[in-house]
Amino acid sequence: MKKTTILFSFVLALTSVGFIACGSDDSGDNTDTTETPEDTTETPEVGTAQLRVLHLSPDTPAVDVFAGDSMDAAVAGLGFPDTTGFLELDEGEYTFNVTVADAGNEEANRALTVQASLNADDIVTVVALNELANVEALAFAEDFSEVSSGNLRLRIVHAASSVGQVDIWNITDANMPTPLVEDLDFKADTGFVEIPAAAYELGVDVDNDAMPDLTFSIPALPEGTIANVFAVEGSGLSGVQLVAQPSEGDVIVIPSN
């Protein structure tokens, strides 16, 4: 997926103060000896941040994303459960308006408005989730530093609004299930954890009886992979699916077994 670069203009009000020196010699020469000082004002460098958008509201149609009052969409036609690549933005304060695709950036059409403060070198993922009537956004700071040899770096996010608190188990070895996360609430996440690069079987317990109610087969991912893994309702499907969002490329949808 190609990266898209969006350029935003900032107006900087710079005030320069000039000093005028007037002098005369004893002969009464009125020659103007005014010197114009050199302008030593330096324009501060503006750092850049990276931001991407993930559509995880299962009953919301494809959306456009606008920056501020611009009528040109920064992101166009983003559908569930797709992601953009990273957009490169100047650091600063932003307002992003989300509308149904092709509706235009009019106030009456905005399903969601997101305020974002981006600092230089920030890498941020913004996720639209929940049902259309209650659509909202979460922002996640990314950690793309080097992963330990032989490992993956994953963050699991509970994004299934119809499912209450859950426990997540590693059931790869059926004879020795291991709890990974306990009492994970809707919109909560595990933070990044590193685990050995391998295929996994995950079980999700939704009723606190220590028995998985949903199971998922996670394919073997290359070592060094960094990904967010969201549990979310499927669009038009019963149950829950996992949506893995790697640091690069398209999402990977993993249905329950």
Cβ proximity of 206 and 213 under 8 Å: yes
Tokens representing residue 72 in the block? 């040109």
Under CATH, which number does the domain 47-142 receive? Answer: 2.60.40
| Same-fold call for 47-142 versus 145-257 | yes
Contact yes or no for 165/200 (Cβ under 8 A) = no
| Assessment of whether the complete model's pTM goes beyond 0.75 | yes
Q: Is the pLDDT of residue 246 over 50?
A: yes
202, pLDDT greater than 90? yes
Q: How many whole angstroms separate alpha carbon 51 and alpha carbon 31? A: 60
The pLDDT, as a whole number, for residue 29 is 53
- Alpha-carbon distance values, 201 to 41, 157, 189, 248 (Å): 60, 17, 19, 23
Domain edges within the chain: 47-142, 145-257
CB 35 within 8 A of CB 21: yes
Question: Which whole number is the average pLDDT over 223-252?
Answer: 87
Q: Which CATH number is associated with domain 145-257?
A: 2.60.40
CB of 247 closer than 8 Å to CB of 142: yes
Model confidence over 53-86: pLDDT tens digits? 999 999 999 999 999 999 999 999 999 999 999 9
Has residue 238 got a pLDDT over 80?
Answer: no
End-to-end CA distance of the chain: 29
* Residue 31 or 167, more confident: 167
Higher pLDDT, 225 or 25: 225
